[in-house]
Structure 1
Amino acid sequence: MSDQSPSRVPALSRGVRMREDKTRGGWVLLAPERVFKLDDIGRAVLTYTDGVRSEAEIIDLLAAKYSADRTQIASDVAQFFDGLSQRRVLEFH
């Protein structure tokens, strides 16, 4: 289980960048010696992940933008962030 907190501030780890992959179509996370293909939802979440906004702020923005249930978004975002953190492409401040 992760140390989930609405006040944690996610940021891409040093050397990790989100880029459009025009060759394959879509978006990817480029990390040293690794590439992670993003789906539309992953891209939407990472669009707001700037190292300044808290996880709670990101969830609020997504819930408002997509008129979706905040509780479900919170669960999905926490799981997504935790997975990226375990792969060492995302860290929390």
Structure 2
Amino acid sequence: MIAADSVVRLAPGVRMQQDAARGGWVLLGPERMLVLDDIAQLVISRLAGQSAGELVAALAVEFDAPVEVIGADVLALLNTLADKGFVRYG
């Protein structure tokens, strides 16, 4: 389970790209694809080697929102993506 001190990254073979046909962003992995909403795209685009907690703190400042609210949503998203094999953490 991803925690605040976990460093999250895309899993090997997974990439995020724009999909013109769908007019949005997708995660592509071996034999699978996930259409992203705007929030998921934003979170994934910010995965840059920092911990999940650092990412949450930065988003809370950027959007002037409570860390507790942002944190719950971001960790839920990242855990779902990990369960589906799109991200890894350590």
Normalised-by-shorter TM-score class:
over 0.9
SS across alignment from 1:57: helix
Match 1:27 to one of 25, 28, 36: 25
SS across alignment from 2:12: coil
Matched residue pairs, number? Answer: 90
What are structure 1's unaligned runs of at least 5 residues?
Answer: none
1:72, distance to aligned residue in structure 2 (A): 0.6
Match of 2:82 in 1: 85
Q: Structure 1 segments of 4 or more deviating over 6 A?
A: none
Instruction: Give per-residue Cα distances to partners, 1:7-58, cap 9 Å, x unaligned.
Output: 10000000000101112100000011111000010011111112x1100111
**What is the percentage of aligned positions where both structures have the same residue?**
34
What is the 5 A alignment of 1:56-67?
A: 56-67=53-64
User: What RMSD over aligned residues (CA atoms) do the two structures have, in Å?
Assistant: 1.0
Match of 1:18 in 2: 16
What are structure 2's unaligned runs of at least 5 residues?
Answer: none
